[in-house]
Amino acid sequence: MKIVFVAPSRQESDAFPEGKRSVDLPLAYNDVVAIKEGDRKGQRGWIVSLVESEPEPRYTVELCSGEGDLFLRLSEIELLKE
């Protein structure tokens, strides 16, 4: 079975920086998140871009520590504030 990753639609790309959320894309630009698993568990960052919308949203997260950016799936992060 081949998994196809889908880039955000034009509508999704336009809504993202405006802070508009949906059931499928619950995070928006500048949301503060924490990493839920792996070597960086507990580290915080903020959402800076929406990379993929399907099969699971993937976001670019800029780490608060200044160590760079990570590409993380929705299931790997949790929202800390809205």
The pLDDT tens digits along the chain (82 residues) read: 666 667 888 888 878 888 888 898 999 999 999 999 999 999 999 999 999 988 899 999 999 999 999 999 999 999 997 5
Residue 5 covered by a domain: no
Strand locations in the chain (E): 32-35, 44-52, 58-63, 69-73, 77-81
Residue 39 covered by a domain: yes
Residue 3 covered by a domain: no
For 54, the domain range is 10-81
Residue 4 covered by a domain: no
pLDDT at residue 3, as a whole number: 65
Residue 76 DSSP SS3: helix
pLDDT at residue 1, as a whole number: 65
Give yes or no for a contact between 36 and 77, defined as CB atoms under 8 angstroms apart.
yes
Q: What would the two tokens of residue 8 be?
A: 């955000």
Task: Provide the domain count of the chain.
Answer: 1
pLDDT at residue 10, as a whole number: 84
CATH code, 36: 2.30.30.30
Alpha helices in 1-82 (DSSP H): 10-15
